[in-house]
Amino acid sequence: MLLRTTFTPRTLVLVLSLAASASLWAADPVTDALQLAYAPYRAALFKTNTGSQADSQQVIGQAQAAWTQIVSQFGSKPVAPYDRDTGFAASLSEVSRVYAKAADEISKNQLAAAHETLEHAREVMAGLRHRNNVIVYSDHMNAYHAQMERILMEGVQWIDQPKGLLELTAQTGALEYLARQLDTQAPAEYVANAEFKAQLNAVQQSVADLKVVLLAQDASAVKSAIGKLKGAYSKMFVKFG
């Protein structure tokens, strides 16, 4: 199952318009807390996609605990830049509801449903940041993911259509740009991390490999290359997304 992000065109434009400038790294306690809580969320999203109920139960509990701390600390008194956001409390509550629903689904071993449920939390958290003009590295990962998902879901169908390979080549160009942003917008601590570099190289190589076979107009190889995009991204997402 794909890791799905439902970015609106407006949200994606916002991410792309800021991508060429330096990312806004956390300079406030709310964003810091949100980033810390995002790590167990990513783990929950990943584990519900692997088929392990026990692991999924463990990480959803961790995600809920981290989010409960955010609600307790900031729910009624957010600090700048979130202090003027009239939807702040509602967003926190929405994520709490998503986690509760996912936890219930995991308890019933409905991992595919839980995975889909958890996807909504990513959208809510991204929307919360974007309303308050906060851009973090996860937004660049999400922008890449949105474009990658389009290729994964529609690319194979394009291959068999008139001029489909041309359309796929154009879409891969956009993905290549977003893959470069994962490098240029990375925070210093990521740049100095050998594991990050290796996983970033794998993501960029998966895009480069797709571009090579597209230019060669090799339809069979294109299908194979499309299938390799997800694995490289997923490994990077769970640790650094």
Tokens for 88, please give them. 């702040």
Q: Based on the domain organization, do 95 and 113 belong to the same domain? A: yes
Residue at 6 is within a domain: no
Domain coverage including residue 142: 137-240
- Pick from 102, 131, 160: which residue ends a domain? 131
Q: Based on the domain organization, do 39 and 102 belong to the same domain? A: yes
- Please choose, from the candidates 62, 71, 72, 25, the residue with its C-alpha nearest in 3D space to the C-alpha of residue 42: 62
Q: Based on the domain organization, do 67 and 110 belong to the same domain? A: yes
Is the pLDDT score of 238 beyond 70?
yes
Residue at 119 is within a domain: yes
- Pick from 131, 163, 195: which residue ends a domain? 131
Count how many domains the chain has: 2
pLDDT tens track for 160-172 = 888 889 999 999 9
Q: How far, CA to CA in Å, does 186 sit from each of 24, 26, 86, 193, 197?
A: 11, 13, 31, 11, 10
Q: Based on the domain organization, do 125 and 204 belong to the same domain? A: no
Please compute the mean of the pLDDT values over residues 92-101 and round it to a whole number: 98
pLDDT tens track for 102-142 = 999 999 999 999 999 999 999 999 999 999 999 999 999 99
What pLDDT score was predicted for residue 94?
A: 97
Please compute the mean of the pLDDT values over residues 33-37 and round it to a whole number: 94
Q: Based on the domain organization, do 207 and 123 belong to the same domain? A: no
Q: Based on the domain organization, do 147 and 93 belong to the same domain? A: no
The mean pLDDT of the chain is 88
Q: Based on the domain organization, do 114 and 165 belong to the same domain? A: no
Q: Based on the domain organization, do 127 and 93 belong to the same domain? A: yes
Other beta carbons within 10 angstroms of residue 23's beta carbon come to: 17
Q: Based on the domain organization, do 189 and 219 belong to the same domain? A: yes
Instruction: Using CB atoms within 10 Å of the CB of residue 199, give its burial: 0 to 12 exposed, 13 to 18 middle, 19+ buried.
Output: buried
Q: Based on the domain organization, do 116 and 39 belong to the same domain? A: yes
Q: Based on the domain organization, do 61 and 143 belong to the same domain? A: no
- Listing DSSP states for 214-235 in one string gives HHTT-HHHHHHHHHTHHHHHHH
CB 60 within 8 A of CB 99: yes
Q: Based on the domain organization, do 159 and 100 belong to the same domain? A: no
- Pick from 103, 131, 159: which residue ends a domain? 131
CATH of the domain at 90: 1.20.120
What pLDDT score was predicted for residue 236?
A: 95
CATH of the domain at 228: 1.20.120.290
Q: How far apart are CA 176 and CA 4, in angstroms?
A: 19
